Structure 1
Amino acid sequence: MKNWGLQSRILLITLLPLIAISCVLGGYFIKVRLDDLDTLVEQRGLATIRQLAPACEYGLVSGNKEVLQKVANSTLNELDVRSAKIYDRFQSELVHSGPDMKALDEREELPNEIQILHFENSIRLITPIFAQNLASYEHLGVSSIGRNQDELFSEKIGWAELELSLTNTELKKYQALLTSCFFLFSGILVCTIITIRFSREITTPLIKLTQAVESIKQGNLEVRINSESGGELRILESGINSMASSLKTAYDEMQQSIDQATEDYRQTLEQIEIQNVELNLTRREALKASQIKSEFLANMSHEIRTPLNGIIGFTNLILKTQLTARQLDYINTIKKSSEGLLAIINDVLDFSKIEAGKLVLDKTPMNLRDLVEDVLTMMAPAGQDKGLELVSLVYSDVPADLIGDPLRLKQIITNLVNNAIKFTNKGSVIVRTMLEEQKQNTVTLKISVTDTGIGMTEDQQQELFRAFTQADTSTTRQYGGTGLGLVISKKLVEHMGGDIGVESSLNQGSTFWFTVKIQKSDDTDTIHEINRLMEKKALIFDTHPTARLALSHCIQQWEMEADEVDDLQILEELALQADESHAPFDIVILGVGQEQLESQYILETIRKLQDQLSLPVIVLINTTDQQAVQRFQLLNVSCLTKPIISAKLHETLINQFYYPENINKHNLQQQTKQLTTIPQQAIEILAVDDNEANLKLLRTLLEGLGHKVIEASNGAEAVKKIQQTLPDLVFMDIQMPVMDGVEATKTIRSLDERRFLQVPIIALTAHALSGEKEALIQAGLNDYLTKPVSEEQLSATIAKWVDKGSPNSPSERLIHLPQESEGSERATSETENNDHAAKNSALEDSNQLETVCIDECLKLAANKEDLAKDMLSMLLSSFDRDIPPITEALTSGARNDLLNSVHKVHGGTRYTGVPKLRNICHAFESAIKEDASDELIAEFYNAFTKEVDAIKAWSESSDWLS
């Protein structure tokens, strides 16, 4: 109906009421007419039977059937009468005229009054007959009648029955119905014709108007309308003609404007083309400047970190010597200043990496509780020097095992805690960790750092999270810094899919918060230790309410019961009451501040708990209160530092409950461990650095670990010395004159002898740009250390890369092949059957691997698709260069050349998702090193070339690299 035209709507509006009224009235009058016909036939029957009854009196009284038959026959002459019957007073049929009547239902007697019976095609009427006109029958005599007059007047003398046919009535009904319908439809048809005729006078002009508007819409602005109509249509026609005329004028003006604009645009394009050329040149200069900036950052990092390495390193060495109090103060100042400068450099370099989009987040397993506790432990001395209480509050619904970047998370939390300590002179710094949302294997965590410091105004808050800005920018500001810490934190949080903000009021402290999305660890192999602290009962004392709450949460996660008090006297009373009620506490944990340390009451309380109630006691003291440790140890009390580390607390509780004899022994071992360093087995190390101070520091640190050190001042000198005396390990500086560390490493790896492939080379570099480590590893170095290096880093690296069982036998180590099993022994005189068994095992394992695994390509490239494609493309392009030397070495029997060539391809497979080829290369290289038979080498070569062809075929058929 929505799509109907105007004429259809006019017809509908006009005819629908007419048809409805006509149908209602016509139906009504037809119904009345039909009812009248039915009534008429009944009335006619009643009139006929009323005339028949008196006419039958004489025949019934006299018993003359002939008279009755004549009367019945004469009744058939009446309209619609079909048949007639007359019954005597005994209801016996006397005469019948006409066709047989339809049999009636059985009944006892005929009715006492007129009765009308309706049938499908007839009507039957029955009436009783009384002797009402007896006077006219006096000549008959009573004897002839058989009854006296009184009896005749009081009784019925018979009945008359008529049957009327409805055929004529039905015919009249049909005639009336057809006549009514004819006149009804004729009237509707006439009205329809009249309506259509007059509607055209409206629709025809409108159609012309519509066609004209459509023509104007298509661009024909010359069209005009002349429909010769009047009224509103004439006004509409005039308006459309005026509109078309106006549009024509506007179109002409617009066309002129377009022509002019086109000419202007052409001239502008010429100017833009010139500007594009200039911008292209400017862009090239900007890219070159960006590259120079990156190189400058790398060089600046090296040039600044190199002297800092010497300053911090030698400062640490001086601190180990005997110094006066003033000298110790000076050296500590130098150390703090150097570390502060190093922190500033790190902030600038981190900010540069983030701005350059080269920040890559790691995904490693971590425990968030341990991470936060590590940060607070590291920051504890600075906070406790100012008398601050540092508290970590991790809510129970926070998952323990997560996968993320712990170093970057620690960097964010450290920045916020450091700022909180910096701007807080008294009170506390509280770190809260809570679960915001959990979806499948991803959780959203919220970490907040609340302090009681100086706070900020709203204007100062708006200046936060901007590079090189601080809340107080005046020259007399009390707190310094680069202003990059919060900016870096904000960028890191955004990289982790979260947000960061601050809530603060002036002189009322601040709360910095951030959210991060972290993946839950799906490691199901973790073996959970049986909870040995279940149902143990602890009594906790601390004057700081949040510290008590955090400690209570910590021990409740091990299903222990905890009661908290903030008064030592109440603590004694509770302990005594619990003991008397036969529900004693199992342990007492005392958080001791500076005020309690200066009082003897704490020592008396501990003695009472131990002597009277035999309760073990754990004392929590500040990191800066180490002189109090000895006093508490004399009382057989375990001492832990604040802020509390849950793992250490758990270990101490276990020792208190199950191994009390080991408490003091454990504390003594911990102190001894801090004062002594277990020397490593002496090895020979080549130290390469062009900076004399750094080289001297490196030598001093390594010799302090008990190792023999050979020095070289550049890469070329290192190559010569490594050829003269093969060391067990090489620490290689990267940026050096004559020959840098990367080139020197490549030269060493390219030497003919196998032993030069096996010596571990560790990069020592001050470069801090993204991708540096990957580039160094790909160049042939084994590991990476960033300057400045510490004694602990050197010791851990040596332990990682040097075989402790045979440090002076580098020929038996395969350091750069991490998939080989350590300590495996293979005899060089293995039989041919064993060779074939090894070959079959390696090839069977390879057959279960994929030729190219895109997921592994992405994983090895830190989920960077472009980098993954580039790495795989580089491997493919290297085949044409690296495969011919392998074939040539195999043909000539030069095993060293074959080993070098296979190792080169093997190294390339380490960084791409080609697990099958990598496995074959590993087995191939191992077989060469073990002097396997020529037949086995040939079989590995065949498998190797076949897999190379398979990778090439995959690259041609797959569109992933395109």
Structure 2
Amino acid sequence: MKNWGIQSRILLITLLPLIAISCVLGGYFIKVRLDDLDTLVEQRGLATIRQLAPACEYGLVSNNKDVLQKVANSTLNELDVRSARIYNRFQNEIVHSGPDMKIIDDRDELPNEIQIRHFQDSIRLITPIFAQNLASYENLDLSAIGFKQDELFSEKIGWAELELSLTNTELKKYQALLTSCLLLFSGILVCTIITIRFSREITTPLIKLTQAVESIKQGNLDVRINSESGGELRILESGINSMASSLKTAYDEMQQSIDQATEDYRQTLEQIEIQNVELNLTRREALKASQIKSEFLANMSHEIRTPLNGIIGFTNLILKTQLTARQLDYINTIKKSSEGLLAIINDVLDFSKIEAGKLVLDKTPMNLRDLVEDVLTMMAPAGQDKGLELVSLVYSDVPGDLIGDPLRLKQIITNLVNNAIKFTNKGSVIVRTMLEEQKQNTVTLKISVTDTGIGMTEDQQQELFRAFTQADTSTTRQYGGTGLGLVISKKLVEHMGGDIGVESALNQGSTFWFTVKIQKAEESNTIYEVNRLMEKRALIFDTHPTARLALSHCIQQWEMDADEVDDLDILEELAFQANESQSPFDTIIMGVGQDQLESQQIIETIRRLQEHLNLPIIVLINTTDQQTVQRFQLLNVSCLTKPIISAKLHETLINNFFYPAQLHKHNVHEHLPEHSKVPQKGIHILAVDDNEANLKLLRTLLEDLGHKVSEAKNGAEAVEQVQIEVPDLVFMDIQMPVMDGVEATKTIRSLDERKYLQIPIIALTAHALSGEKEALIQAGLNDYLTKPVSEDQLSATIAKWVDKGVGATSQATNTPILLEPNRPKLELPGTQISTQQGIRHENASQENPTQDNSEMNGNSVDIEECLKLAANKEDLAKDMLSMLVASFDRDIPPITSALANGSRNDLLNSVHKVHGGTRYTGVPKLREICHNFESAIKEDAPNVQIEEYYQAFLAEVDTIKAWVSASDWIVTDQK
């Protein structure tokens, strides 16, 4: 109805009441008329039967049927009378006239008074007859008809019945109904015509008004209306004409204004174009100036770092000589000043790079637990000098393997931990890592650094995260710093889609936290022999509650059970009680703080535990002092330094449980931090640098480490030296005359022989601008160090890249590598050597060990998988394979015997034992055969199928034995 026009609305308003009233009144009068016709027929029948009853009195009394028949026949002349009957006083029909009446099924006897009954097409009337009018018949003989004088006027003498037809009445009803409907529809039609006629008097002017308004809306402001109507429509017509005239005037004025504004805008555009040309010239000059500044920063980095390299390097060399107390003080002052200047240069360059928008984040695989532990290990000496406890607490729901920028994350954490150590004189620094949110393959992590230092007021907190400022300017002199560390951290966190903040109170410590969004790795690169430590029990002692909790979280990730104590007496009591119970402890891990290093109680407790308990003890000490380490090692315990590195702790637990005889064959430096390790044997290193001081320092440091050193002053000489004698490792400067380090590396990699692809080339660069790391890796370099370099850095790098062929992981690329100096390189199955970098890419399957990967390597023994399952420890991998081969002679006879005896339970146990052994070494075919063999036994397979698996099992065992006998990778007792 909302879309109806005016004419439709007028018709509805006019005709709807009319039709409703007409239908109501017409229906009422038709109903009354039809009821009247029914009543008229009934009344006519009553009148007829009342006349018939007296006329039959004499005939009934005199039993004169002729008279009664005449009376009945005369009744048929009445309107609508169909038939008539007369009954005597005994209810017997004596006279009938007309067609037969319809039979009434439910009537038992004739009524005592007049009765009317209605049927579908007729009406039946019956009335009793009394002798009321017979007194005038004097000669009537009552005895002849069986009546007594006193009974004649009191008893019924008979009955009369009529049947009336309703056909004529129904016809009259239809005639009345048709007439009424015709009159009703005629009236409605006439009213409709009249209404339409008068509605047009209203709608026609309105239509004209509507058309005029639509024309005005389309922009025809010259239209005018003349509908010759009156009243309100005339007023509306006049108003629309006036509005059109006003719009026309306003439009003309607006058009004039637009023309004027367009002219003004055109002139403005011309001025803007002139300004754009000027701004473009200015922008080009600014870009050129920015480029000059970037080049200046790069050159400044190189030029400042180069002399700093000499200053710091020779300062370290002087510190190794005999000095007086005053000279030692001066040299230490020079060293601290140089290191401070280097830190300032690094901060300024990082800040410049971020401000220039040239920061690019890497997306490489990384392990967050290892990353945090690396930072704490690097900062451990500074913390241990103050007696601080450095703790890494990674909660169990934090995924270990992620895809992100480990270098930048490490930079953020290092800044926060460095600040925490700087402003904390006693207590602890705790790094907590927790999972905040996880959506599909992206996780949001929150990392917090809590210290027990001097804290800050709310006003001081407001000054944080601003460039070249500190919370308290007075602390600058006391603690040093440029105030850029937190600013750089904030920018890096924002680039990673996170936030950073602080919670602190004066003299109550501080908690710096930040969040980052990182992508989860599709496959795990962390290899732990979890099932070997599953359900092992450990008793943990540490007086520091958070360190104790962190250690518990660490070992629980390997599905070990852990109990914690903070008292030595309780430690002994629990250990002895558990030893007497059904579930003794498998190891005891004791954390020793700096205040407990000289404690005799610790020593005595360890000795009592060793005397009464046969279980390994691991001691964690918060120092790197070699004398302290050696003192604890003399107690025949495994000694590790804090902060704890989970991989080292895992390795120590495995060795304690499964290789106790090899625990104490290593030198003391095996338990020292990673940066203090050096190869046991000197190697040949090529040092390339155009600066005499740098080259001299590098040579001196390397020779002090026991290595053979060759020199080259530019890239061209480096290429020649490599072709004359292939070195085990190259330290390559980048900016050099004749041929720079990048071009020299590309030339070396492009040489035809494969041995040149496997040389680890480490960049020595003073650059810190964005994109250099990626360019170095793409050019074929394996890693890079930033000048100035220290002896520890060189030692750690050499140990990482050249360490008896054990696979290591590049800090720069997180890519597993395999390097073996002084002997041909072993190309393992399932690996592929890159033609650019000499980096081995993993292609081996990461699926369940039961999955058959024999199609990939084609060998029964997969050395690559052996190394993986042994955490990349070659000796351990060889031992595991040797143990498996040695177990064949012991475990196969029970299988043969059980198969011959038909004992499925014994057969299942024997096969399961061998199957368990195959899961710890790289024998994929045998592992799958054992898996299927065991499954068939459990599923009660037919004997024929069991026999087939048995024969395949024996054949594969023979193949493995033949491979071991023919291989020089492993030496067994069989050879």
Alpha-carbon distance in structure 2 between the residues aligned to 1:96 and 1:116: 19
Of 120-129 and 784-793, deviating more is 784-793
1:670 maps to 670
CA contact (8 A) 1:438 1:444 kept: yes
Q: Do the aligned partners of residues 734 and 633 (structure 1) sit closer, same or farther apart at CA in structure 2, a change above 3 Å counting?
A: closer
Q: Do the aligned partners of residues 500 and 48 (structure 1) sit closer, same or farther apart at CA in structure 2, a change above 3 Å counting?
A: farther
Alpha-carbon distance in structure 2 between the residues aligned to 1:239 and 1:421: 86
Alpha-carbon distance in structure 2 between the residues aligned to 1:404 and 1:553: 24
CA contact (8 A) 1:730 1:759 kept: no
CA contact (8 A) 1:543 1:567 kept: yes
Q: How many residues align?
A: 817
1:700-733 deviation digits (Å, cap 9, x = unpaired): 3444465554444345666777788887876543
The DSSP-based 3-state class of the residue aligned with 1:42 is: helix
Residue 145 of structure 2 corresponds to residue 123 of structure 1: no
Alpha-carbon distance in structure 2 between the residues aligned to 1:4 and 1:759: 89
Alpha-carbon shift at residue 151 of structure 1 (Å): 5.2
The amino acid that maps onto 2:389 is: E
CA contact (8 A) 1:401 1:521 kept: yes
CA contact (8 A) 2:757 2:838 kept: no
The amino acid that maps onto 2:511 is: T
1:791 to 770, 790, 794: 794
1:97-121 deviation digits (Å, cap 9, x = unpaired): 3334334437544445444333333
1:143 maps to 143
Alpha-carbon distance in structure 1 between the residues aligned to 2:837 and 2:472: 55
The amino acid that maps onto 2:379 is: M
1:595-644 deviation digits (Å, cap 9, x = unpaired): 44565444455555555777765443323676544554454454433333
- In structure 1, the gaps of 5 or more residues are 809-813, 823-962
Q: Do the aligned partners of residues 80 and 18 (structure 1) sit closer, same or farther apart at CA in structure 2, a change above 3 Å counting?
A: same
1:721-777 deviation digits (Å, cap 9, x = unpaired): 7788887876543323355445666788999x9899879676543333344355556
2:400 maps to 400
Alpha-carbon distance in structure 2 between the residues aligned to 1:527 and 1:727: 31
Of 666-675 and 76-85, deviating more is 666-675
Alpha-carbon shift at residue 267 of structure 1 (Å): 0.9
The DSSP-based 3-state class of the residue aligned with 2:139 is: helix
1:216-262 deviation digits (Å, cap 9, x = unpaired): 32223344556666776566555545544443333233222211111
Alpha-carbon distance in structure 2 between the residues aligned to 1:496 and 1:729: 35
The DSSP-based 3-state class of the residue aligned with 1:139 is: coil
1:287 maps to 287
Q: Do the aligned partners of residues 216 and 755 (structure 1) sit closer, same or farther apart at CA in structure 2, a change above 3 Å counting?
A: closer
Alpha-carbon distance in structure 1 between the residues aligned to 2:192 and 2:215: 33
CA contact (8 A) 2:670 2:677 kept: no
Alpha-carbon shift at residue 303 of structure 1 (Å): 1.9
Q: Do the aligned partners of residues 638 and 798 (structure 1) sit closer, same or farther apart at CA in structure 2, a change above 3 Å counting?
A: closer
CA contact (8 A) 2:46 2:125 kept: yes
Alpha-carbon distance in structure 1 between the residues aligned to 2:431 and 2:534: 27
CA contact (8 A) 1:126 1:161 kept: yes
Alpha-carbon distance in structure 2 between the residues aligned to 1:205 and 1:455: 87
Where do 1:351-750 residues align within 5 Å? Answer: 351-456=351-456, 460-473=460-473, 478-523=478-523, 529-568=529-568, 571=571, 587-597=587-597, 600-606=600-606, 609=609, 617-623=617-623, 628-654=628-654, 668=668, 670=670, 677-678=678-679, 680=681, 682-683=683-684, 685=686, 687-704=687-704, 709-715=709-715, 731-742=731-742
Of 400-409 and 354-363, deviating more is 354-363
1:804 maps to 821
1:520-540 deviation digits (Å, cap 9, x = unpaired): 333379775254555555444
The amino acid that maps onto 2:557 is: Q
The amino acid that maps onto 2:733 is: D
Residue 283 of structure 2 corresponds to residue 277 of structure 1: no
Alpha-carbon shift at residue 566 of structure 1 (Å): 4.1
The amino acid that maps onto 2:794 is: E
Where do 1:225-304 residues align within 5 Å? Answer: 225=225, 236-237=236-237, 239-304=239-304
Q: Do the aligned partners of residues 27 and 505 (structure 1) sit closer, same or farther apart at CA in structure 2, a change above 3 Å counting?
A: farther
TM-score normalised by length of structure 1: 0.74
TM-score normalised by length of structure 2: 0.73
Q: Do the aligned partners of residues 52 and 520 (structure 1) sit closer, same or farther apart at CA in structure 2, a change above 3 Å counting?
A: same
The amino acid that maps onto 1:791 is: L
Alpha-carbon distance in structure 1 between the residues aligned to 2:205 and 2:575: 106
The amino acid that maps onto 2:835 is: L
2:901 maps to none
CA contact (8 A) 2:496 2:517 kept: yes
1:885-933 deviation digits (Å, cap 9, x = unpaired): xxxxxxxxxxxxxxxxxxxxxxxxxxxxxxxxxxxxxxxxxxxxxxxxx
Alpha-carbon shift at residue 66 of structure 1 (Å): 2.3
Where do 1:330-341 residues align within 5 Å? Answer: 331=331, 333-341=333-341
Of 9-18 and 655-664, deviating more is 655-664
CA contact (8 A) 1:86 1:159 kept: yes
Alpha-carbon shift at residue 299 of structure 1 (Å): 2.0
Alpha-carbon shift at residue 188 of structure 1 (Å): 3.6
Q: Do the aligned partners of residues 758 and 594 (structure 1) sit closer, same or farther apart at CA in structure 2, a change above 3 Å counting?
A: closer
CA contact (8 A) 1:727 1:759 kept: no
Alpha-carbon distance in structure 2 between the residues aligned to 1:226 and 1:32: 55
2:854 maps to none
Alpha-carbon shift at residue 145 of structure 1 (Å): 1.0
Alpha-carbon distance in structure 1 between the residues aligned to 2:755 and 2:527: 42
Alpha-carbon distance in structure 2 between the residues aligned to 1:507 and 1:237: 86
- Calculate the aligned-residue CA RMSD, in Å: 4.3
CA contact (8 A) 1:748 1:756 kept: no
Alpha-carbon distance in structure 2 between the residues aligned to 1:28 and 1:224: 54
- Identical aligned residues as a percent: 86
Alpha-carbon distance in structure 1 between the residues aligned to 2:737 and 2:659: 60
Alpha-carbon distance in structure 2 between the residues aligned to 1:633 and 1:475: 42
The DSSP-based 3-state class of the residue aligned with 2:361 is: coil
Alpha-carbon shift at residue 44 of structure 1 (Å): 2.6
Alpha-carbon distance in structure 2 between the residues aligned to 1:318 and 1:249: 97
Of 433-442 and 225-234, deviating more is 225-234
Q: Do the aligned partners of residues 613 and 544 (structure 1) sit closer, same or farther apart at CA in structure 2, a change above 3 Å counting?
A: same
1:177-218 deviation digits (Å, cap 9, x = unpaired): 234334433444454455445545554554444333323322
Alpha-carbon distance in structure 2 between the residues aligned to 1:615 and 1:764: 47
Q: Do the aligned partners of residues 331 and 226 (structure 1) sit closer, same or farther apart at CA in structure 2, a change above 3 Å counting?
A: farther
Q: Do the aligned partners of residues 58 and 666 (structure 1) sit closer, same or farther apart at CA in structure 2, a change above 3 Å counting?
A: farther
Alpha-carbon distance in structure 1 between the residues aligned to 2:839 and 2:350: 38
Alpha-carbon distance in structure 1 between the residues aligned to 2:344 and 2:141: 158
1:391-410 deviation digits (Å, cap 9, x = unpaired): 32222222233333322222
Alpha-carbon distance in structure 2 between the residues aligned to 1:473 and 1:120: 118
The amino acid that maps onto 1:35 is: D
1:272-315 deviation digits (Å, cap 9, x = unpaired): 22122222222322332333233223322322332233334444
- In structure 2, the gaps of 5 or more residues are 804-816, 826-831, 841-975
